[in-house]
Every structure is written in C-alpha cells, then in structure tokens.
Amino acid sequence: GESVGLHLPTLSVQEGDNSIINCAYSNSASDYFIWYKQESGKGPQFIIDIRSNMDKRQGQRVTVLLNKTVKHLSLQIAATQPGDSAVYFCAEDNNAGNMLTFGGGTRLMVKP
Amino acid sequence: NAGVMQNPRHLVRRRGQEARLRCSPMKGHSHVYWYRQLPEEGLKFMVYLQKENIIDESGMPKERFSAEFPKEGPSILRIQQVVRGDSAAYFCASSQKGRDSPLHFGNGTRLTVT
C-alpha cells in the first residue's frame, strides 16, 4: 500500500545477520514485482524482480519470495553488511496501467 | 555506460516562478517516467512518456504541470507558478520496453520552493 506520510518502519539488524523485509500488495492482478534500494540523496536502485509465475528468485545475497495467495512479497538479504543500510521499496505492475506502484518503504539499519 | 541523468540536482524557486526539470534516459531506452517523492514517503507516479507522446499522465496534476519528451533532447517536467507544496524530490526513470521491464532511476532533482 502507499505511505500516508508516517515515519518509515525500521528494521535494525546486526552486521552478518540475515534480513527479511516484507511488503503487502493490494492488487491481485499484479503480475510483476520489483525490489528497489534507495540510499540517502540518491534515486532508487534496482535489486531484483520476479514475475507472478514464480514464487522464488535468487540473486547475489538476495532472495525474493512471492506468495500470491496472501499477496505478500519479501526480500531476504543474506549476511547483511553496513552498505545494505538504506530504504527498501517494493513495486508492483498491476497489469492495468503503464506504471509501477510503489509501497511505502522500510528503512534497514545495520549495526556494526 | 551512463545511467539516467537528471539536472539540476537541486533547484530553488520562489513562489510563482517556473521550474524546469530535465531527464536524459539511459542509452537505448525510449520509455520515460516521472515520479515524485516527499520525505519519508514512497514514490508517486506522475507521467509516462515515449518519444513525442504522452502515454499516461494520470498521476500528474491537471494544472501547472506539464511534461514532454521530444524527438531530440531530454524529457522535461515543467511546473508553472510553483507553490510551497511542490517542494519534493522528482525522479525520472527509463526502461527499454515499457511494461514488464525494470525502471532505472536517476538521482533526482530536489525542488525547494521558498
């Protein structure tokens, strides 16, 4: 869903631990999903994407899981590093328009 | 290997002035999107353009805002008679084939209206 202007939810993890960031999407017609990472003062950076015909996709240190039954998306980061500290957004393509719809974001803070 | 280029990075305008934000997409990309972001919030879609055409402007205010992507040159987002509520970060993104392909974002233009 979209942010309503509240402070971003924050996930704080210890360096080296695994991180799991969750996202709920609202449109059951959405068939393409992307995770973005945004560092302070920069634009969103593509991390990984997944199509609705898959339920899991792995990249380098990252895994995206898609549960279409409950409309839930998660991003797992293995062995989290200080450089992973950022705000993470999920985005969905709802198959009706021409744009991605972004969720409200989660701030990941990595403690050394 | 340049990514999406936006300029200026920071823009300060007084109320009532015009703001022009420019975006050059990645090489080979003909689809351009503009998004707006307020502090501590997600990105809100404004407009989607292909060369010389506006495909979807459903997220853009009907008044004072306009966008173009000419045959030659960058895409321009234009805000006339700016108000304080226009202060935000404006991000441009491009993609190679539109739907079902990831958007690649620039680093944004931060507009401050005084």
How does DSSP classify residue A8? P
Cβ atoms of A92 and A25 within 8 Å: the answer is yes
**Chain A from 67 to 106: CB within 8 A of any B CB:** 89, 91, 93, 97-105
- From first to last of its 114 residues, chain B has per-residue pLDDT tens of 579 999 999 999 999 999 999 999 999 898 999 999 988 888 999 999 998 899 999 999 999 999 999 988 999 999 999 999 999 999 999 988 767 778 899 999 999 999
Residue with tokens 């002035």: B17
- Tens of pLDDT, residues A59-112: 999 999 999 999 999 999 999 999 999 999 999 987 665 678 898 899 999 998
Contacts with B103 (C-beta within 8 Å, 6 or more apart), sequence order: A34, A46, A91, A100, B33, B93, B94, B95
| pLDDT at residue number A96 | 60
Cβ atoms of A75 and A48 within 8 Å: the answer is yes
d(CA B107, CA A44): 8
d(CA B83, CA A3): 22
* Interchain CB contact of A5 with B (< 8 Å): yes
Cβ atoms of A105 and A7 within 8 Å: the answer is no
**Residues from chain B contacting residue A91 (CB–CB below 8 Å):** 103
| pLDDT at residue number A99 | 78
**Residues from chain B contacting residue A93 (CB–CB below 8 Å):** 99-100
Residue B94, token pair as written in the block = 């491009």
Paired residues of A51 in beta bridges: A32
* 8 Å CB contact of B99 and A32: yes
